[in-house]
Structure 1
């Protein structure tokens, strides 16, 4: 759903070119974006007799192929937004209908989408990641949890203070809810997790894949439409050479976010958030770091195990009974069982 594509108009479009919503209590200021194929247009509007600004989203099903399914999407988005109360999810305000056209009114956030090309330092990208993960933690704490299903640069707004806002819940689903076959591939190619593409159940790790892909696009300054350039013949992200300045720990964190096997990703947003908080995103690699990032995922467990044994032996027998030293602990925490065939107890140990 490309709702944040900027139009080609410069300045405010003459009022006569906009719909008249005065009877509904709104006056359109400008068009923010449109998706002609999906019959979606978004407008910035003033609330009459107040200083409040809102976003009005138009769903024109008369010109789209989706009629009934489109109406259900509209209704589902409203239903989900009405349940949410988070400062960085634009709140639902109102909805109304004109024959053949539905409109939804939301709170306006004065922040451009990441779909507009901007350059960020890796530290800033970490801040954006933490901000979105906080929103996902909130969504996953709902009962039942909510899966956004369409996280990508165009659906994330970021203000000057690097506060991130998550928009467009048109594809969002309550975890465990049945999804029609026609909606399996309704997300955005390159950002959809593999389980979405093949019709497998979605989990709290599904949105993490999409967020990881978004962050990799930001790090490499890659547009959403060109994300395919970052994916190799094995359908895995291959971006390491494009961002040599990021630390091995941050690189491993990103690689785990976009693991094709959802069971090898972080289990949920809370775990991914806590792990990222203690990671330094820019830094040089130690010899052990370099080794871990270059070997195949399935062999990392063996190498790390051998590294741990050798390190402990070098420290001395007196430390054998103690907890692993800082170097070993940091290494184990950084890898977070990335790609290992360990049991579920591995994640529990790395949480400590």
Structure 2
């Protein structure tokens, strides 16, 4: 008897567990679509669990509503959703790529720059919609990256995303990872198109310093600033300044949006020139 839920009546055969959030009552599976024989990802939100709050149900509904509207190669497509006795399931495209939090690769500065470019292009797509989509949870765990022949980057987990900028209730940020959230999000202030840039910058700093995402707070000064010159002295000063700009605590001092950050980054060499 399989230890996995039987979803054959929905057309899916579960193969393995990809991740589990015990507190939120969410399990992520890799499965096979029995009609197409293609691999898919199934997120099962187990709202019958005692520790699963009603806010998780709202996040589930929000994620479905937003994913249905999105069509970008860097965002796994929404495929299906359905109810189960334990809760609800969301089905998406499967991407064979580890998250940056789980990758064992030591990324070079040039590779980190390419990751930044790829994520910024996804954010540009989200920000140029009629109602801009703010992801609100940019961190290594939510960025998949595969670097075999060419770099492929995907942004996942839109459970906290919102269409439009807005103030954020303080209670809605408690369960996210401190260190990647911009100060305006923690304080429940107005979000801007610069808000997601902060999480991207913190993610890039983790990659460049080889710091696990769970330890990102150790890199932040009491003033909630990253000291890029001290953390990454080997980088080109222009890249140092670019990184410092996207992680500025005050959103007014960051790049205003992903397009501006991308334009500035593309012209920068990330490593110091070696002496002849």
> For this structure pair, what is the TM-score category when the shorter chain's length is used for normalisation?
over 0.9
Specify the alignment match of 2:256 in structure 1.
267
Query: Aligned with 1:77: secondary structure?
Result: helix
Instruction: Give the alignment partner of residue 126 of structure 1, picking from 113, 120, 129.
Output: 113
Question: Gaps spanning 5+ residues in structure 2: where?
Answer: none
Query: Aligned with 1:159: secondary structure?
Result: strand
Deviates more, 1:25-34 or 1:237-246: 237-246
Q: Where do residues 250-261 of structure 1 align in structure 2 (5 Å cutoff)?
A: 250-261=239-250
Which of these two proteins has the greater Rg computed from alpha carbons? 1
Structure showing greater relative contact order (alpha-carbon pairs closer than 8 Å, 6 or more residues apart): 2
Would the aligned equivalents of 1:248 and 1:284 in 2 still touch at CA under 8 Å? Answer: no
CA distance in 1, matches of 2:188, 2:172: 10
CA distance in 1, matches of 2:210, 2:121: 23
Instruction: Give the alignment partner of residue 61 of structure 2, picking from 66, 75, 99.
Output: 75
Question: Gaps spanning 5+ residues in structure 1: where?
Answer: 1-14, 286-352
CA distance in 2, matches of 1:191, 1:105: 27
Structure with more helix by fraction: 1
User: Are 1:91 and 2:72 counterparts?
Assistant: no
Per-residue deviation, 1:114: 0.4
CA distance in 1, matches of 2:170, 2:225: 25
Task: Give the CA RMSD over aligned residues.
Answer: 1.6
CA distance in 2, matches of 1:176, 1:232: 28
Instruction: Give the alignment partner of residue 178 of structure 2, picking from 185, 189, 214.
Output: 189
CA distance in 1, matches of 2:97, 2:238: 30
Instruction: Give the alignment partner of residue 235 of structure 1, picking from 221, 224, 228.
Output: 224
Provide the TM-score with structure 2 as the length reference. Answer: 0.94
Structure with more strand by fraction: 2
Deviates more, 1:63-72 or 1:203-212: 63-72
Specify the alignment match of 2:33 in structure 1.
47
CA distance in 1, matches of 2:231, 2:4: 44
Please list the CA deviations of residues 223-281 of structure 1 after superposition, one character each: whole Å capped at 9, or x if unmatched: 01111221122221124334332100000000001000000000000000010000010
**Residue-pair matches, total:** 271
Instruction: Give the alignment partner of residue 62 of structure 1, picking from 48, 60, 69.
Output: 48
CA distance in 2, matches of 1:178, 1:72: 17
CA distance in 2, matches of 1:109, 1:103: 18
Q: 1:178 to 1:281 in 2, by over 3 A?
A: closer
Provide the TM-score with structure 1 as the length reference. Answer: 0.74
Would the aligned equivalents of 1:37 and 1:64 in 2 still touch at CA under 8 Å? Answer: no
Query: Deviation above 3 Å: which 4+ runs of structure 1?
Result: 64-67, 176-181
Query: Aligned with 1:89: secondary structure?
Result: coil
Deviates more, 1:91-100 or 1:174-183: 174-183
Please list the CA deviations of residues 287-344 of structure 1 after superposition, one character each: whole Å capped at 9, or x if unmatched: xxxxxxxxxxxxxxxxxxxxxxxxxxxxxxxxxxxxxxxxxxxxxxxxxxxxxxxxxx
User: Are 1:165 and 2:188 counterparts?
Assistant: no
Instruction: Give the alignment partner of residue 265 of structure 2, picking from 270, 276, 282.
Output: 276
Deviates more, 1:239-248 or 1:79-88: 239-248
Instruction: Give the alignment partner of residue 101 of structure 1, picking from 76, 84, 87.
Output: 87
Per-residue deviation, 1:17: 1.3
CA distance in 2, matches of 1:218, 1:113: 12
